[in-house]
């Protein structure tokens, strides 16, 4: 078995050529070195095409649909994970506390839904995606997935006429659905080198309009705020305890794990695993890191050869591991729920912006 060397990064599965290329690009997207400079002319073409597409929607050449309730888009222009799901969960709960009845629509990574499939307790990540399933588990609000978000939104409203506001988890570039509020989320990487794909990490320019900018980072510096376009709301993710996957009623505080002789490992199949690892280290834990690809399906049993007493994982990963019998029964696996901390005024401002729209 592979022994845990706390404070180090564990070897991952042999990377494919495509994943190796992706890793190389990801690292270079934080600066303007020779590689990305060579790709810059291609990014200009990408920018022109994406800008033309957006302009055609604004001009009405490409058709978009408006739903009978306000639509709030939670998305990013930085490719990969920035923390949209925790923000969406926070926003659902904040709107519920404000007396509204939100519903959530999503593409659902890996889901097999085409025109709208409701997420229910018996849904699997293969059917609806890991993030929509987590949103359903954490909030209990109606959640539906589908490729066409306008069709999916109508299907959700038909099934749940009490819903008076829709959140779309991702879908910032899905202009076929009109929206009332746009929230763009960044993390500590900011806008990277500021260039569009493939020379940089951005799908759209930083100058793109939005209603709110949220930065998921423990510290906001002036440089970081300028990098994403100025004026931002801070979001932090906090985890205070871990729950055993085999029995979620079994709970241990992270503080109780700090300074122990337990061999601790941490696994994260999210867009930016270092964010999860950093949170655990900030809690005083000495961990061996096992970064995995975003939306990792865990069918390759990545923990089989891992010699660790406890393996900490994200909730997003836990919804998939709970579907695999071998992993579901592994007593070493512990889930660390995280909670987003954001200024509550954000929800108030969203409600104010949506006021005046006809609610269902």
Residue ranges per structural domain of the chain: 59-237+341-354, 240-337
Pick among 3.80.30.20, 3.40.50.300, 3.90.180.10, 2.60.40.420: CATH of 59-237+341-354:
3.40.50.300
pLDDT for res 304:
86
pLDDT for res 346:
94
Pick out the residues of the known binding site: 78-85
Give me the helices (H) in the chain, please.
17-28, 34-59, 84-97, 125-128, 130-139, 149-159, 222-227, 254-257, 273-282, 315-321, 325-328, 345-354
pLDDT for res 3:
58
pLDDT for res 329:
94
Per-residue pLDDT of the chain (360 residues; tens, 9 = 90+): 555 666 666 655 544 455 666 778 888 999 999 999 999 999 999 999 999 999 999 999 999 999 999 999 999 999 988 999 999 999 999 999 999 999 999 988 766 556 789 999 899 998 999 999 999 999 999 999 999 999 999 999 999 999 999 999 888 999 999 999 999 999 999 999 999 999 999 999 999 999 999 999 999 999 999 999 988 999 999 999 999 999 999 999 999 999 899 999 999 999 889 999 999 999 999 999 999 988 898 988 899 888 899 999 999 999 999 999 999 999 999 999 999 999 999 999 999 988 766 444
Residue matched to tokens 């910032």: 172
pLDDT for res 241:
97
Pairing of the two strands 233-238 and 310-314 = unpaired
> What is the distance between the alpha carbons of residues 237 and 243, in angstroms, rounded to a whole number?
17
| Sheet of 143-145, strand order | 117-118, 143-145, 102-106, 165-169, 71-75, 181-187, 212-216, 233-238, 339-342
pLDDT for res 108:
83
> What is the distance between the alpha carbons of residues 209 and 225, in angstroms, rounded to a whole number?
15
Pick out the residues of the known binding site for ATP: 78-85
């Amino acid at each position: 078995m592979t022994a845990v060397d706390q404070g180090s990064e564990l070897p991952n599965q042999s990377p494919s050529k495509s994943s190796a290329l992706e890793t190389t690009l990801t690292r270079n997207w934080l600066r303007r070195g020779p590689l990305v400079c060579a790709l810059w002319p291609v990014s200009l073409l990408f920018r022109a095409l994406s800008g033309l597409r957006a302009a055609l929607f604004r001009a009405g050449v490409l058709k978009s649909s408006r739903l009978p309730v306000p639509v709030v888009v939670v998305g990013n222009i930085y490719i990969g994970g920035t923390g949209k799901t925790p923000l969406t969960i926070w926003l659902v709960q904040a709107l519920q506390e404000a007396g509204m009845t939100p519903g959530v629509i999503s593409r659902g990574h890996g889901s097999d839904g085409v025109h709208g499939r409701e997420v229910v307790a018996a849904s699997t990540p293969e059917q609806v995606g890991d993030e929509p399933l987590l949103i359903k588990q954490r909030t209990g609000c109606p959640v539906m997935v589908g490729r066409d978000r306008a069709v999916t939104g109508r299907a959700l409203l038909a099934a749940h006429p009490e819903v008076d506001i829709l959140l779309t988890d991702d879908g910032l570039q899905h202009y076929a659905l009109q929206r009332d509020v746009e929230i763009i989320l960044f993390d500590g990487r900011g806008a990277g080198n500021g260039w569009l794909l493939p020379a940089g990490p951005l799908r759209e320019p930083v100058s793109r309009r939005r209603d709110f900018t949220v930065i998921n980072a423990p510290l906001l510096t002036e440089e970081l705020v300028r990098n994403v376009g100025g004026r931002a709301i801070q979001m932090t993710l906090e985890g205070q305890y871990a729950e055993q996957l085999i029995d979620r009623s079994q709970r241990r505080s992270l503080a109780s794990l700090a300074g122990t002789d337990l061999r601790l490992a941490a696994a994260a199949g999210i867009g930016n695993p270092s964010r999860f690892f950093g949170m655990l280290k900030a809690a005083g834990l000495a961990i061996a890191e096992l970064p995995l690809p975003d939306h990792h399906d865990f069918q390759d049993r990545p923990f089989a050869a891992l010699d660790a007493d406890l393996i900490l994982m994200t909730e997003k990963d836990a919804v998939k591991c709970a579907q695999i019998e071998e992993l579901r029964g592994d007593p070493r696996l512990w889930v660390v729920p995280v909670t987003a901390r954001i200024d509550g005024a954000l929800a108030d401002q969203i409600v104010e912006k949506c006021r005046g729209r006809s609610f269902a």
